[in-house]
Amino acid sequence: MKKEPVFIFGAGGHAVACIEVLEAEGKFRILGLVGRKEEVGRKVSGYSVVGTDKNLPALLKKTRNLVMAIGQIKTPAPRARLFLEALSLGAKFPVVRSPFSRISPRAVIGAGTIVMHGVVVQAGAVVGRNCILNSCCLVEHGVQIGDHCHVSTGAILNGDVVIGSGSFVGSGAVLQEGVRLKDDSLVPMGQMVRRPR
């Protein structure tokens, strides 16, 4: 199978994890990374940082495929802004799925979302664009996740949970079935979130 060329947008710690998933999936050939000015010329997991976001118009002539690998802990703003800017330049953001994840064929995953190792996404779940489903999280039936969200390692979203756009769910957090979170919500690591009664 011929691999599609792709650039990775971001050159930090999250990029290292994304590279592992891309290599395991085996669908893409990594041409290099797009990072900050001071990162250009460095190597990340054996791949060179070949430019910055200012170089995107030229890089997108080689391939329109980008994988968003800028992490999201404090705020989704940089990740969301760069995603939308790249789209306006004609970039395409494929869905990246670890072969060690389990995604129901009845689930919907939005463009630019990465599904890391050990993730389970159940039937009827709808995940927005440019999201991170981090290692070993569980997205149960009927869950809805807005754009630009990060569901961290080992988090559990029980049935019919709704997560507003730009939200962050910390590692090991557990959301009771039917919980609804507004846009830009922050759920700390390990927190139990119960539905109001």
In the chain the domains, ranked by start, together with CATH numbers, are 4-88 (3.40.50.20), 95-188 (2.160.10.10)
Measure the CA–CA gap between 12 and 4, rounded to whole angstroms.
Answer: 23
CB neighbourhood size of 123 (10 A): 12
Beta bridge mates, 108: 126
Biggest distance spanned by C-alpha atoms of the chain: 55
**Can you give the pLDDT of all 197 residues of the chain as single tens digits?**
789 999 999 999 999 999 999 999 999 999 999 999 999 999 999 999 999 999 999 999 999 999 999 988 778 999 999 999 999 999 999 999 999 999 999 999 999 999 999 999 999 999 999 999 999 999 999 999 999 999 999 999 999 999 999 999 999 999 999 999 999 999 999 999 997 54
Q: Which stretch of DSSP H or E encloses residue 58?
A: helix 56-59
Cβ-based neighbours of 170, under 8 Å, separated by 6 or more = 152, 155, 186, 187, 188, 189, 190, 191
